[in-house]
Structure formats: structure tokens, C-alpha cells
Amino acid sequence: SSPSSSPSSSLLQPNSFSNTLSWYSCGPTVYDVAHLGHGRAYVSLDILVRCLKMFGVNVWHVMGVTDIDDKIIIKAQQEGTSPQNIAEKYEESFFSSMKR
């Protein structure tokens, strides 16, 4: 039996101190408008978190957003602006799209 198939490693375990399940997920690299792949990942995780909460699990979810990357730098050069402006613009666009 492999470690990944043992019952203790296959169950989600909330933190025993706070009784909260902490969950980190990778988010988008914000250099352009959101696409279907972003939406699928975001919605899938949102459904999972909502289901866990529905069954009484306290969930603390944090999603990272990559705001500096070669793609962001290239996009900034193409648009004649800073990488920070590109990241802020497309991060706002991403979350606006995911709210719909």
C-alpha cells in the first residue's frame, strides 16, 4: 500500500487548534484577460469550498496571484507602461470576471 492510499493521508484534516481547514491555491498570472482555464479552476475550487462549508467545515482559503512574471513584463513593454500597472489592471479584470 502506498502512503497516498492510506486512510490517514486521504482525509482532509482541519487544524486541531482552530478547527479550520487552511487551503492555499495558485491563482492566475495576471498579464491578460481571464480565459476559460482560469474560470474552470476558480469555479471548481469555489464549488469545493462551498460544499465543505455546507457540511460544517470551517475553510480559510487563500489564492495566490502572480503579479510579476516574464509575460507581465513583456505585456508592459508592449503597452508602454509598468509591470505593476499591467498586474493591477488584469488582477482587477480577473476578479471582476469571476464575480459574474
pLDDT computed for residue 1 by the predictor? 44
Q: Which three cell numbers stand for residue 2?
A: 502506498
Q: State the residue range of the domain holding 31.
A: 19-99
In a domain, 1, yes or no: no
pLDDT computed for residue 6 by the predictor? 52
Given a cut of 70, whether residue 9 has pLDDT beyond it is: no
Closest by CA position to 25, among listed 2, 10, 47, 53: 47
Report CA 81 to chain centroid distance, whole Å: 26
- Hey, how many other C-beta atoms are within 10 angstroms of the C-beta on 49? 17
Q: What CATH number is given to the structural domain containing 40? A: 3.40.50.620
- Tell me the per-residue pLDDT of 11-51, one tens digit each, with 9 for 90 and over: 677 777 777 999 899 999 999 999 999 999 999 999 999 99
For residue 1, give the amino acid letter.
Answer: S
Beta bridge partners of 26: 64
pLDDT computed for residue 41 by the predictor? 93
In a domain, 73, yes or no: yes
Q: Which residues contact 67 (CB under 8 A, 6 or more apart)?
A: 30, 83, 84, 87, 88, 91
Q: pTM of the predicted model, to two decimals?
A: 0.75
Beta bridge partners of 20: 15, 58
In a domain, 35, yes or no: yes
